[in-house]
């Protein structure tokens, strides 16, 4: 399976993901919702954007 880039997301959320070493949708999916929400600058809106992008690939967040 190829890696898919992260969707367009707010700057704080992008920085939060980059700081955690998350650069692809697959990495975000494996990280899980609860862990993503613990990242400073990442919130419910970012979860919604990721869920939508993942659904398009037939994937979902780990939790």
Q: What is the pLDDT of residues 26-63, one digit of tens each?
A: 999 999 999 999 999 999 999 999 999 999 999 999 98
Summarised one tens digit per residue, pLDDT across range 6-22 is 999 999 999 999 999 99
Q: Classify each residue of 1-29 as buried b or exposed e, where b means 16 or more C-beta atoms within 10 Å of its C-beta.
A: eeebebeebeeebbebbeebebeebbebb
Whether residue 51 contacts residue 37, with contact meaning beta carbons closer than 8 Å, is answered with no
- Domain ranges in the chain are 24-63
Which H/E stretch holds residue 32? Answer: none
Q: Tokens for 49, please give them.
A: 């954007």
Q: What is the pTM assigned to this prediction? A: 0.91
């Amino acid at each position: 399976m190829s890696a898919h880039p992260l969707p367009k997301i707010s700057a704080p959320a992008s920085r939060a993901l980059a700081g955690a070493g998350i650069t692809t949708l697959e990495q975000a999916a494996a990280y899980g919702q609860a862990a993503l929400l613990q990242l400073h600058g990442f919130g419910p809106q970012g979860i919604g954007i990721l869920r939508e992008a993942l659904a398009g690939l037939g994937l979902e967040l780990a939790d």
